[in-house]
Each structure stands twice: as structure tokens, then as C-alpha cells.
Amino acid sequence: MEVDATPEQAMHYARSGDLSTEVASLARPLVERGKTPGIVVGVLLPDGSMHFFGYGVTDPKSAIRPGGDTLFATGSLSKGFLGVVTALQVHQGALSWNDTLGQLLPPSVPLSSDAKKITLIQLATHTSGLPNQPMNFQTCDYFIQYLFTGKNFYRHLSRDYVFHYLAHFKAPQRPDVHYSNLGYALMGYVLEQRTGVSVDDLVEREIARPLGLKNTGYRPETLPGFSTRAHGFAGDEPKFVSRGKPVPDWQFTDFMKGTGGIYSSARDLLTFAAAALHPEDTPLGAAFADTLRVRAPRTQEAPAVAWFVDDLDGQRITYQIGVVGGFTSYLGLDVERQTAVVVLQNSFNWTNTVGHKLLVRLSRAQTGSPSSPTFVRAKPSPTENESPPAVRSE
């Protein structure tokens, strides 16, 4: 996560007050430098207004500029939806955060003694000791294939495959925060076992329908934005596919889809963010509020449920990121100042250069503080092209 290198950069928006120019200065260079074919930035301001800015194209063949309703694969932003559904079950009494896998999974599932002790809250906060994925021959083989083709290297992780892994799982001596797709896959399976409803339908019933999210789901072909969706392209990964070449969308097994299978739009994701920032006095509101609570205080990447929290000299940014075949996504909140930023790219890039910077600049505009965060330093951006930005704003 990059933040501004100097106080002057952090105060740029506070002095100009021009949101479209501010967003363009951060996002447009990513397209101009070939980092991504297209990018959408959505901003939720304290007054509840949403603003969307699109640059580049959804696909060079169509030359359509992405906008607030363009459909993107969101990768691990899916975990945020799964986290809220799980918290809702906890608040309704169907589950407890302290339930263990030994209690939650059927007796027929072979679990090691360490696996039996893993709790639901450990799965939700990436503190279970589980790895991101099992590192064995098949995973390595599929990962090598991915480097040359872009195909999903999680495609072998079926329910039975993961259960076999859990039968031999040994927890690390000092468990810490360790990002784990396996953990969220198990959360999804537990939800399906306890409710008798698929993860797809749970997200639709408990979140998408109540919030009016019309362009969010696990089956993109059924969503209104499918015909004009963003197509994915190689970026920092896969290593042996040229940047800018098309790569296939990842197809997840039923067991793994809850970890990264959701498609959504910037508008729907800001609506999701607004529900987190303004939880109503309802079970769903309580679930959103619960997911934001930090469970293990740290200055950087403090874990909440599906969210992480960074402390930037007193400004707390709560965020999620997603990287999946051909796409990069970011959703960040400044809970105190009631602002949110979403950034969607149709290229796989490890470094997020827009979200944190923009949230800090929005904060400085409200507080008038010239100080700049210090825990991460980014190189100053090069001088921007002075031509008018290609912006779509609402």
C-alpha cells in the first residue's frame, strides 16, 4: 500500500477541492503507462454522494470506457461478503465465533487434533495458522501452469482435497496473521452446512437483495452488466504472459468460490461500503459493525473480519484487496470521516497506488492537517500530462 511521500502531496486535494482532477492524477497514469487497460475509481463522500471516474477501456476490442456500473471480477473482496453473512449467523445465534472446526464440521470429516481446535473467528481473521493454500506437488504444478497460461491454480482444491489436508494439519508454534484462502473456503462450507443454503444464495438473500445490489454475484452471466463487463489482462502476473495480453477468468470449485468468486461493480461496492459505514439498527447492521471490529491490535494490517486496518499517524484505514486472474480490486473505508474509495482494474497488479493515497487526501481536506503518514513511503509521482482527463463522473 502506497501513501504520499510528502505533506504537500497529501494536502493537494485540500488546496484544490477538485475531486475529478485529484482522482485523475492518481489513476490515469496507470492506464497511460500500460499498467492496466482500464480502471474505475469510486468515491463515497460524507454527504452520501457517490462519484465515479473511469479511464482506459474494458477491452481494447470494444474500446468501451469503464464506469460505475461496469462488472469486474473482485477476487478477495468476496471475503467481505462472506464475513458479513457469517457475522449475521453469529448475531442470529446459529453460530458462535468461538465454535471450533471439531464442532462445526460433520463427525465423518477426518481432522487432526490441531485442525479440530481452529475457531470460526480464527478463520475469519486469518489467525488459524492455515496457509493460503496447501504447498504440495499438485499446487506447484498448477502454479507453474498459471505462470504460462493464467489458468487458476486453485482448481484442484475440492472439498475432499482440503479435508485430506486438514487430516494431517499441524499448527505453527506461534500462529500470527497469515492470509488464508483455505480458511475462508472452510467458512463458506460451514455456512452451507449450517443453513442448508449455498453461498451464492446466502449472499443474494442476506446482502445483495436487502442492499439493492443489482450487479453483484458469483454467476456473472446472470448479471445485467455481463455483456459490457471488463475483461481481464495480464499485469505483474502471470510472469510469462506479456503485460496487456488477455487471460482467462478464474473458475473456482464450489468449495473455493466464497474466497474469491464474486463479480461486482464500483457502484455496488460503494453501496456495500455505505452499509458498513452507516449500520442501521438491524441484524444486518449489527453484522456489518461486527466485521469492522479489530480483533488483534497492530499498527499495520490489524485483522478484523475480512477487513484489515492500517494506522497512518492516527488515521485508521479499513480495507480489503483482491487480486485474481486478470483483475485487481481495492475497497477502503475511513470510518471516522465516513468516506470510502473503491478501485477496480482489469489487470493483475500487486501494488495498490490509488486507494490509500486518495483516502488520506480526502481526510486532509476535512481536517486541514498538513501531516503526512509515515509508516510507508511512496516515490513522488512524475509530472502529469496536462491534457484534460478522460473522466466519467456522477
What is the value of pTM for the model shown?
0.92
Q: What would the DSSP string read from start to end of 227-286?
A: GGPPPPB-SS-STTS-TT-B-PPP---TTTHHHH--EE-HHHHHHHHHHHHS--SSHHHH
pLDDT at 9: 86
Q: What is the pLDDT of residues 238-276, one digit of tens each?
A: 999 999 999 999 999 999 999 999 999 999 999 999 999
| Topology (CATH level 3) of domain 7-367 | Beta-lactamase (3.40.710)
The pLDDT assigned to 383 comes to 28
pLDDT at 12: 81
- Residue 263 — φ and ψ, nearest 5°? -105, 145
Note the pLDDT of residue 264. 98
Half-sphere exposure of 160 (CA within 13 A, CB side): 0
Q: Which residues of the chain have pLDDT under 70?
A: 369-394
pLDDT number for residue 371: 54
Q: What is the pLDDT of residues 303-331, one digit of tens each?
A: 999 999 999 988 999 999 999 999 999 99
314's CB contacts (< 8 A; 6+ apart) are: none
Find out whether 347 and 55 touch, Cβ atoms under 8 Å: no
Torsion of CA 209, 212, 217, 221, to 10 degrees: 110
Bridge partners, 321 (sequence order): 330
Q: DSSP readout, 87-149?
A: HHHHHTTS--TT-BHHHHS-TTS---HHHHH-BHHHHHTT-S---SS--SHHHHHHHHHHHHH
